[in-house]
Amino acid sequence: MTENAIGVTEIRPARPGDAQTIGDIWYRGWRDAHLGNVPDALLAVRTQESFAVRAVQRVGDAVVAVVGGAVAGFVMVVDDEVEQVYVARNHRGSGVAVALLAEAERLVAAGGHGRAWLAVVAGNLRARRFYARNGWEDTGLFAHDAPSDQGPVRVPAHRYVKHLMGPRRAEVHSSASTWRQPAPPAVSPERSALVKAIAERVLAIGTGRLLVGIDGLTASGKTSFGHELAEWISAAGRPVLRASLDDFKKPWKDRHLYDRESGEGYYRNAYDYDVVKCLLLDPCRTPGATSAVLCSIDPLTQQNHAAERTALTSDTVLIVDGVFAFRPEINGYWDFRVWLHVDAELSVQRGAARDQNWAGSEAESIHRNRYLVAEDIYLREVEPLPMADVIVDNSTFASPRILTP
C-alpha cells in the first residue's frame, strides 16, 4: 500500500468516535449494492437508524481506512469471515477497498485460519467482479441468513473463498553493539496500525533491496521505531538488517584530534560517514555485494566490530536509525525516509532520563548544550524535514500521529 497510489494515510482499528461515519458509509453502501437484489423483508428492516445502531455495536470488529484525516471505508472481520467491506462513494475505485480487503485477509490469517470466506448477494455484480479480480473464488450459490431484529432473512448469495498462504517470517539481524536497545512491546492498537501502514509503504517500493533511514531529534524514539518497523517487514517475509548511526562514530581515543564535545563539534566531527558508507551503505546499495557490517565501533565499549559481517540477500531491507541521517553525505542512499517529531524540550528530558546511567548529573547539560545545539545546526543547514517521506509525531508513544503523508 502506498499513499501516492491510493491516498490511504492509515489503516487502523476503528474507534468509538468512528461509529457515526461507519454507519453512514454502511447505510449508503448497502443500499447501493442491495436495492433490487434482496427480499423486501430485508429492505424494510435495513433502515438508516438500524445501521447507526449496528455501527455502534460492531465498531470493535471494524478496521477503517483513513484518507485526508477522515474515515473513507471500513471492513469487519469475525473469525474466518470477512463480513462487511464498504467504501464511501467519493473513494470508490481509488484503491481503498483493495487496501481494506488486504488487511482483512491478513487479520484472518493472523487468527490462524488458512482460508477466508465472504458472502455476496447474487445481483451485486460489481462486488463479485471486484473479489474475482483480487483472487477470490466463487464457490457457488447458498442460502445466506441475514440477521435482523425480526429474525434472519434468507437471501440468495454467492460464497467467495480465498486460500491464504501467509509468508514465513524472515530474520531480523541486529548490530552487535552494547548500545543497542531492546525492541519495545506492543503498547496500543493505534501504534501497531501506524507502524504497519508505514511498513506497507516501504514494502510497496519494490522487491529488491531497500534502504530506510529514520531521523529525528535525540531520544525521539528512532531506535524503537526501527525495531517495530523491522518486525512488521520481517513478518512479511523480507529479511531485515538493523543498524544505528551511533555505531559508526569516530573512536573516542581520537577525540584529542578534533572538537567533539561542543554542539558544533559534535555535529561536524562525531560521525564517520566514510566508514558507514564503506562498511554498510555501499554494500547494501550494490547488487552483487553479499555482506555488510552493522557495527563499526561500539559506542560504549569502544570494541571494533568492523570485521563482523552479516549476509545480504537480494531482498534485504536495511533499516538505519540515527540523528543527522539525512545529511548530504548519506541522504542519497535512502529509498524511504522517516522523521520522528518531538519538541526540543521533550527530547532533552527523555534523553537525560535515558542517559543517567552513564552521564549521571551531567546528562541534561549534555543533551541541552551539546546534542540540541548540534541538532539546531543540522535543522538550519540541511532542512531535513522536507526530505522525509513521512513525518510521525512520536511525542506520545502509545498514540503516534502521522503529520504528513
CATH number at residue 151: 3.40.630.30
Q: What is the pLDDT of residue 184?
A: 78
pLDDT value at residue 7:
56
Contact between 371 and 266 under an 8 Å Cβ cutoff? The reply is yes
Q: Are residues 22 and 159 in the same domain?
A: yes
Residues 145 and 65 in one domain: yes
State the distance between the two ends of the chain, measured CA to CA, in whole angstroms.
13
CB 19 within 8 A of CB 51: no
What are the tens digits of pLDDT across the range 52-101?
Answer: 999 999 999 999 999 988 999 999 999 899 999 999 999 998 888 998 99
Residues 222 and 364 in one domain: yes
- H or E segment and range at residue 198: helix 189-203
Pick the last residue of a domain from 136, 163, 190.
Answer: 163
* Residue carrying the nine cell digits 487496501: 99
Higher pLDDT, 134 or 279: 279
Distance of CA 7 to the CA centre of its chain: 15
> Looking at 107, 139, 163, which one is the last position of a domain?
163
Position 289 scores a pLDDT of 95
Number of domains within the chain: 2
The answer on 147 and 43 residing in a single domain is yes
pTM over 0.75: no
Range of the domain at 8: 3-163
Same domain, 352 and 218: yes
CA atoms within 13 A on the CB side of 156: 8
| 153-193 tens-digit pLDDT | 888 899 999 988 666 778 999 999 988 777 777 777 788 88
Share the mean pLDDT of the chain.
91
| Cell 542519497 belongs to residue | 332
Half-sphere exposure of 217 (CA within 13 A, CB side): 26
If asked whether residues 35 and 144 sit together in one domain, one would say yes
405 falls in which pLDDT band (50, 70, 90)? low
| 385-397 per-position pLDDT tens digit | 999 999 999 999 9
Characterize 379-395 residue by residue with b for buried, 16 or more Cβ atoms within 10 angstroms of its Cβ, and e for exposed.
Answer: eeebebbeebbbbbebb
**pLDDT at residue 141 is higher than 50:** yes
Is residue 261 a contact partner of residue 362, using CB atoms and an 8 Å limit?
no
Let me know whether 352 and 335 are in one domain: yes
Cell triple for residue 107? 487479520
Question: Which CATH number does the domain housing residue 179 bear?
Answer: 3.40.50.300
Residue 2 has pLDDT above 50, yes or no: no
| 339, 400: one domain | yes
284 & 397 share domain? yes
Domain boundary among the residues 163, 186, 213 is at: 163
Bridge pairing between strands 172-173 and 210-216: unpaired
Give which of 206, 183, 182, 207 is closest to 195, Cα–Cα: 183
**Residue 254 sits in the same domain as residue 276:** yes
